[in-house]
């Protein structure tokens, strides 16, 4: 090893310094180093406790280190963790059965990340268009909404309207048509004989917790039925109780033809995702058409099954409904002029901050200093999406912290 000369600067060996030195700079984290989590709480390397009001974009919907899920993980890891899908295991079938029963879908294809689930949905929709609807080969189109976010693969960023997601990553796959989110008439007008599917988020998460007008999903469902088009709902962030219902599309009584799930499905312990669909869509997959080394492995299936059982047994979707109502009422009561809008359902809430008052990032830094952790989106929206097990007292603590941060930021802007 080469000795360091006396005049050479000592490198930053802290966790943040090492990450900056050796990691890609594709994230800009808040300056906090987390070392432990339990329930809705997190601790940093100095022992300070925080409230988690982000829950890893819903991946930690059951809280950190839930004992039921840890038990399922530990027991299965000691028995059998990973095998190829070249063999059956005793865990995958029961997991898929429960997943289909709880969502009302016919069949499920397990994957790992949410982006993989969306890629699976795209492949399924196109093949259905060619084999069932009769679209000419190579002409299948999928309608997506503007300001969508479905993942980071090159196909997915190719149909994004966010310039940064696309910059430098082309050329992109053709076959996607963008329409305004929340405008069912514009969506139907975009349908052509080559349209095989509509792929939408029931609530747009990364766009700033954007809730469409009531009746939008039902109108999309009806348009898809009229034109023989698949309706595929991306519920990777909104599904599994997050919005106060099992699925966000349940709020309008809509049953999609295809569905993507992820994040919460892994219980905050593993990446687990799935594409679910009706029989005639899923029947088009034959051996060799699609797969994943880790998709549907017994460890993931055991944890996913335990997570679904916990969600159902504890009534967490219903709990998210009334705790979310409490959160929204408390936020409205702040009454600060910096808050220009409050949006969301259940425990998926966006607080839009007037950019002339402060950036949402600065509000998140202020919340961090108050012992509350979350993240901004698009520079103007503070995301409040805690684990579904959050208590009313913890929600009150977070809202009180937000009120103090806004008051302090306002005081700092006041003329001397």
SS3 for 40? coil
Active site residue 149: yes
Got the DSSP string for 249-262? GGGGT---SEEEE-
Q: Indicate the pLDDT class of residue 412, thresholds 50, 70 and 90.
A: confident
Give per-residue pLDDT as tens, 151-197.
999 999 999 999 999 999 999 999 999 999 999 999 999 999 999 99
Domain-terminating residue out of 313, 345, 365: 313
Predicted confidence (pLDDT) at residue 5 exceeds the cutoff of 70:
no
Read off the pLDDT band of 378 (50, 70, 90).
confident
- Kindly state the average pLDDT of the residues 31-51: 97
Domain membership flag for residue 369: yes
Q: How many domains does the chain have?
A: 2
Q: Do strands 195-200 and 230-234 pair parallel, antiparallel, or not at all (unpaired)?
A: parallel
Among residues 91, 133, 263, 375, which one is catalytic?
A: 263
Instruction: Please tell me the distance from the alpha carbon of residue 30 to that of residue 184, in angstroms, as a whole number.
Output: 38
The reply to whether 74 and 196 lie within a common domain is: yes
**pLDDT tens-digit series, residues 285-314:** 999 999 999 999 999 999 999 999 999 999
Q: Which of 149, 159, 176, 275 is catalytic?
A: 149
Say which CATH number the domain at 383 has.
3.90.1150.10
Query: Is it the case that residue 8 has pLDDT exceeding 80?
Result: no
The answer to whether residue 263 is catalytic is yes
Average pLDDT over residues 61-71: 98
212 and 88 inside one domain: yes
Confidence of residue 411 (pLDDT cuts 50, 70, 90): confident
275 is catalytic: no
Pick from 336, 343, 334: which is nearest to 384 by CA? 343
Whether the predicted pLDDT of 380 surpasses 90: yes
CATH number at residue 299: 3.40.640.10
Average pLDDT, the chain: 95
Q: Does residue 126 share a domain with residue 213?
A: yes
Closest CA to 58 of 226, 202, 243: 243
Question: What pTM did the predictor assign?
Answer: 0.94
Question: Out of 52, 234, 250, 257, which one is annotated catalytic?
Answer: 234
Boundaries of domain holding 395: 15-60+316-413
**In the β-sheet with 176-179, what is the strand arrangement from edge to edge?**
107-111, 273-277, 258-261, 230-234, 195-200, 141-145, 176-179
Q: Are residues 215 and 336 in the same domain?
A: no
Q: What is the mean pLDDT of residues 384-390?
A: 98
Q: Are residues 344 and 274 in the same domain?
A: no
* pLDDT tens per residue, range 91-140: 999 999 999 999 999 999 999 999 999 999 999 999 999 999 999 999 99
């Amino acid at each position: 090893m080469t000795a360091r000369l006396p005049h050479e600067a000592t490198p930053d060996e802290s966790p943040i310094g090492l990450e900056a030195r050796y990691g890609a700079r594709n994230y800009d984290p808040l300056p906090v180093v987390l070392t432990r989590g339990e329930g809705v709480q997190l601790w940093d390397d100095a022992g300070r406790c925080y409230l988690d009001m982000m829950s890893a974009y819903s991946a930690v919907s059951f809280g950190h280190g839930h004992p039921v899920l840890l038990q399922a993980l530990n027991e299965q890891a000691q028995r059998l963790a990973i095998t190829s899908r070249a063999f059956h295991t005793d865990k995958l079938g029961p997991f898929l059965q429960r997943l289909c029963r709880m969502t009302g879908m016919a069949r499920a294809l397990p994957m790992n990340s949410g982006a993989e689930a969306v890629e699976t949905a795209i492949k399924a929709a196109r093949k259905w268009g060619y084999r069932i609807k009769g679209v000419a080969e190579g002409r299948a189109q999928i309608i997506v909404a503007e300001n969508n976010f479905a993942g980071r693969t090159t196909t997915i960023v190719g149909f994004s309207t966010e310039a940064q997601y696309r910059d430098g990553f082309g050329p992109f796959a053709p076959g996607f048509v963008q329409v305004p989110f929340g405008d069912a008439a514009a969506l139907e007008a975009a349908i052509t004989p080559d349209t095989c599917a509509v792929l939408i988020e029931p609530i747009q998460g990364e766009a700033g917790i954007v809730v469409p007008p009531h009746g939008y999903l039902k109108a999309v469902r009806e348009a898809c039925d009229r034109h023989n088009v698949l309706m595929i709902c991306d519920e990777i962030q909104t599904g599994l109780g997050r919005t106060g219902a099992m699925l966000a599309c349940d709020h309008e009584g809509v049953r999609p033809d295809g569905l993507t799930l992820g994040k919460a499905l892994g219980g905050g312990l593993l990446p687990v995702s799935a594409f679910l669909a009706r029989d005639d869509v899923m029947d088009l997959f034959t051996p060799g058409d699609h797969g994943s080394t880790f998709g549907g492995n017994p460890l993931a299936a055991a944890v996913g099954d335990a997570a679904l059982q916990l969600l159902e047994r504890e009534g967490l979707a219903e709990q998210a409904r009334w705790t979310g109502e409490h959160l929204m009422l408390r936020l409205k009561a702040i009454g600060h002029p910096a808050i220009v809008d409050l949006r969301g359902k259940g425990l998926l809430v966006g607080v839009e901050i007037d950019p002339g008052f402060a950036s949402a990032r600065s509000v998140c830094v202020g919340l961090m200093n108050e012992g509350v952790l979350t993240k901004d989106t698009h520079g103007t929206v503070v995301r409040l999406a805690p684990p579904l097990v959050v208590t009313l007292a913890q929600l009150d603590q977070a809202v009180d912290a937000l009120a103090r941060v806004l008051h302090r930021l306002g005081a700092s802007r006041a003329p001397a």
